[in-house]
């Protein structure tokens, strides 16, 4: 390694550290000035703004039904199915590379949400290409007989349906643990469980100055989702107490 290479590497490291410190200081300043009560008092407007600016696909996915509130979600997946999914994704990546496309398929990079719309609850999730893959609508009759159970705070990497490497890094610290609530409903006589998260992870774009503010707003929207859900369906009031069987 030449001296010039060492110097370039050193400058890059220093530059990255300075950028990191600048970003963190800016994020801390935004957090300190963030007015939670102002967001809560105008939650409908903020919900619409976040959907329109950060998650525009949601309106398309639920076919223009009103979005009263929403949060991130996942489906419990066994370790066996995780391994099977990983194998399928790896095979897809190899197939793409065979034709000269450097693509990495990773099922955990997909988005999933629970959307409260009037009396209905929609579960929507994307495939690895970002297109709608699953849309299940739970009706009032199903929801009044549903149950909710706190399954504990989890790190990003431990969520059953997984998250991307970047999001896992962001979530794998004690301050950003995701509280997960299992909502169990009956569909065609069979129980189905959807995991509702108490945090919404927005798409991140490097250099986006509003990310911290939007992320803080999104988490208030997630809290509002649980509040609205329990107002409509008292049997689905979330409590951070694990049930003992």
pLDDT for the residue 168 = 46
Report d(CA 85, CA 63) in Å as an integer.
29
**Model confidence pLDDT, tens digit, residues 163-177:** 444 444 444 555 557
- How do strand 112-117 and strand 69-74 relate by DSSP bridges? antiparallel
Question: Is the pLDDT confidence value at 96 over 50?
Answer: no
- CA-CA distance, 36 to 45, in Å (whole number)? 14
Whether 223 contacts 70, CB under 8 Å: no
Q: Examine the pLDDT at 19 and tell me if it is beyond 50.
A: no
Q: What is the pLDDT of residues 61-74, one digit of tens each?
A: 998 799 999 999 98
- Over 60: is that where the pLDDT of 179 sits? yes
Compute the mean pLDDT over every residue in the chain, rounded to the nearest whole number: 74
Percent of the chain that is helix, strand, coil (3-state, to 5): 50, 20, 30
Does the pLDDT at position 4 exceed 70? Answer: no
pTM of the predicted structure, to 2 decimals: 0.70
Structural domain boundaries of the chain?
Answer: 34-236
Report, as an integer, the average pLDDT of 46-55: 93
Position 239 scores a pLDDT of: 83
Kind of pairing, strands 112-117 and 120-126?
A: antiparallel
């Amino acid at each position: 390694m030449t001296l010039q290479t060492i110097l370039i590497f050193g400058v890059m490291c220093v530059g990255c550290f300075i950028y990191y410190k600048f970003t963190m200081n800016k994020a801390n300043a935004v957090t300190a000035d963030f007015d939670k009560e102002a967001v809560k008092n105008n939650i409908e407007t903020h919900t619409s703004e976040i959907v329109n600016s950060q998650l525009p696909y949601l309106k398309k996915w639920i076919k223009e039904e009103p979005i009263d509130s929403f949060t991130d979600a996942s489906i419990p997946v066994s370790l066996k199915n995780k391994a099977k999914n990983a194998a399928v994704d790896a095979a897809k990546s190899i197939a793409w590379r065979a034709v000269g496309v450097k693509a990495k398929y990773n099922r955990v990079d997909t988005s999933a949400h629970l959307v409260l719309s009037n009396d209905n609850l929609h579960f929507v999730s994307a495939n690895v290409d970002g297109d709608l893959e699953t849309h299940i609508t739970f009706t009032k009759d199903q929801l009044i007989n549903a149950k909710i159970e706190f399954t504990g705070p989890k790190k990003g990497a431990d969520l059953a349906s997984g998250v991307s490497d970047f999001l896992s890094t962001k979530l794998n610290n004690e301050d950003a643990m995701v509280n997960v609530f299992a909502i169990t409903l009956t569909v065609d006589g069979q129980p189905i469980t959807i995991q509702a998260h108490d945090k919404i992870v927005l798409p991140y774009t490097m250099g986006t100055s509003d990310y911290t503010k939007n992320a803080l707003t999104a988490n208030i929207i997630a809290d509002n989702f649980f509040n609205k859900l329990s107002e409509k369906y008292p049997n689905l009031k979330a409590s951070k107490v694990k049930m003992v069987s």
